[in-house]
C-alpha cells in the first residue's frame, strides 16, 4: 500500500491537472490567443507527420476496407460493370445532353453558389477518433481559406472551416453539436437555429414558433440573416420529424442533411467568411 504522503501528493497532482484541463477548456471556449497559438504550433509541427501518416495509413485503411467489405466490394463491382455497359450506351446521348446542359447552366448556374468565389478541395483524412466530427482537406491559407468559411457539395451544406494552415484545413461537419447556425424553412420562411443532433441529423430547437406550419419533407436552407457566416439559400436538409417543446411554445425539428456526409471525396469551400450575400 502506498504511503499516505505519496497518496496525498498524487491526489494533489490530480487536482492540479484537472484544474489545468478545465482552464484550457475555458480558454479554448473563449477562443483566446494562447490556445490558438498552441493549436497553430501543433498543426505546424504535425503537418508533415500527418501528410506522411496519410500516405502510409491510406493503403492500410484501403486494405482493411477491402477485407471487411469484400462481399460488398464484389457486389458493387458487379453493379459497376453493368453500369459501365449502360453508360457506354448512354454516352452518345449524353454528349447532346451535355451541350444542352452547358447552355442551361449559362442561364441558371448552380443556384446556391452563383458567382461566389470558391475553391474545390479533396478530402485527405477523416475523423481521428470515434468522437471526432471533422475531416481535413488539401487546401489552406495559400488558397485563400479562412476560418468559418462554408463548405458545401453540389447537394448542400457540409460544414465550415474551423482550423486552417498553409496547405490544409480542418472542416467541422454540420452534425457536430457545437456547430450552430441559422436556417430557414423554405415553405413558411420561418427562421430557426440548427445544431448537430444524434444519428447524423440536425436539430432545430430554437426559433420555430408552435404555430408555424411545418411538416415532414419540408426543405431547410441556410437563413442568410445578418451576422450569419453562411450565404442564404444553401440547401441544408429535409425535415424528418416535428414535435413541440415541453412548454409547447416552439417546435423542435429533426433535419436529415441533404449532403451525404459519409465518404466525402471532394468538397467546395466558398471563399467568404460572413461576406457571402
Q: Please state the closest distance from residue 232 (CB atom) to other proteins, in A.
A: 25
Up-side HSE of residue 128: CA atoms within 13 Å toward CB?
Answer: 8
Q: Please state the closest distance from residue 63 (CB atom) to other proteins, in A.
A: 9
With the CA atoms of 221, 134, 122 and 195 taken in that order, what torsion angle do they form, in degrees rounded to the nearest 10? 0
The binding track of 122-161 with respect to other proteins, each residue x by CB under 8 A or -, is: ---xxxxxxxxxx---------------------------
User: Are the beta carbons of 3 and 10 closer than 8 angstroms?
Assistant: no
Range in contact with other proteins (rule: CB under 8 A) among 170-178, 207-215, 247-255, 263-271:
170-178
| Residues of span 56-95 touching other proteins by CB under 8 A | 56-58, 60-61, 64, 68
Q: Please state the closest distance from residue 98 (CB atom) to other proteins, in A.
A: 36
Closer CB to other proteins, residue 49 or residue 96? 49
Q: Please state the closest distance from residue 107 (CB atom) to other proteins, in A.
A: 39
User: CB-based burial of residue 60 (10 Å sphere; 0-12 exposed, 13-18 middle, 19+ buried)?
Assistant: exposed
Closer CB to other proteins, residue 121 or residue 162? 162
Residue among 143, 176, 205, 273 that touches other proteins (CB under 8 A): 176
Q: What backbone torsions phi and psi does residue 174 show, to the nearest 5 degrees? A: -65, -20
Alpha-carbon distance 11 to 15, whole Å?
6
234 Cα distance to chain centroid: 13
User: Are the beta carbons of 223 and 183 closer than 8 angstroms?
Assistant: yes
Q: Does residue 24 belong to the site contacting other proteins (CB under 8 A)?
A: yes
Closer CB to other proteins, residue 54 or residue 143? 54
Q: What is the largest CA-CA distance in the chain?
A: 84
DSSP letter for each residue of 58-88? HHHHHHHHHHHTHHHHHHHHHHHHHHHHHHH
Q: Does residue 253 belong to the site contacting other proteins (CB under 8 A)?
A: no
Q: Does residue 170 belong to the site contacting other proteins (CB under 8 A)?
A: yes
Coil, helix or strand for 142? helix
- Residue 90, all three cell numbers: 448512354
Range in contact with other proteins (rule: CB under 8 A) among 5-13, 185-193, 215-223, 229-237:
5-13
- Positions in the binding site for other proteins (CB under 8 A): 1-2, 6, 9-10, 13-14, 17-18, 20-29, 35, 38-39, 41-43, 46, 49-50, 52-54, 56-58, 60-61, 64, 68, 125-134, 162-163, 170, 172, 176-178, 196-199
Amino acid at each position: 500500500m502506498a504511503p499516505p504522503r505519496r497518496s496525498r501528493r498524487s491526489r494533489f497532482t490530480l487536482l492540479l491537472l484537472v484544474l489545468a484541463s478545465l482552464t484550457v477548456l475555458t480558454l479554448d471556449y473563449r477562443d483566446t490567443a494562447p490556445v490558438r497559438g498552441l493549436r497553430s504550433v501543433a498543426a505546424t509541427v504535425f503537418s508533415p507527420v500527418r501528410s506522411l501518416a496519410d500516405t502510409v495509413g491510406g493503403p492500410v485503411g484501403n486494405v482493411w476496407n477491402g477485407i471487411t467489405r469484400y462481399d460488398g466490394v464484389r457486389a458493387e463491382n458487379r453493379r459497376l460493370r453493368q453500369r459501365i455497359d449502360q453508360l457506354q450506351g448512354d454516352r452518345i446521348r449524353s454528349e447532346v445532353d451535355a451541350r444542352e446542359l452547358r447552355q442551361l447552366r449559362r442561364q441558371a448556374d448552380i443556384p446556391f453558389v452563383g458567382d461566389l468565389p470558391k475553391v474545390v478541395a479533396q478530402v485527405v483524412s477523416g475523423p481521428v477518433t470515434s468522437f471526432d466530427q471533422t475531416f481535413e482537406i488539401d487546401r489552406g491559407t495559400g488558397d485563400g481559406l479562412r476560418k468559418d468559411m462554408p463548405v458545401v457539395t453540389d447537394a448542400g451544406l457540409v460544414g465550415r472551416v474551423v482550423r486552417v494552415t498553409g496547405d490544409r484545413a480542418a472542416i467541422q461537419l454540420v452534425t457536430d453539436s457545437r456547430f450552430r447556425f441559422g436556417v430557414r424553412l423554405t415553405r413558411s420562411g420561418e427562421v430557426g437555429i440548427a445544431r448537430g443532433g444524434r444519428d447524423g441529423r440536425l436539430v432545430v430547437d430554437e426559433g420555430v414558433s408552435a404555430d408555424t406550419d411545418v411538416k415532414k419533407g419540408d426543405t431547410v436552407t441556410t437563413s442568410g440573416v445578418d451576422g450569419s457566416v453562411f450565404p442564404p439559400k444553401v440547401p441544408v436538409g429535409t425535415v424528418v420529424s416535428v414535435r413541440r417543446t415541453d412548454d409547447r411554445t416552439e417546435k423542435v425539428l429533426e433535419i436529415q442533411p441533404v449532403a451525404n456526409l459519409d465518404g466525402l471525396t471532394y468538397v467546395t469551400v466558398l471563399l467568404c467568411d460572413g461576406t457571402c450575400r
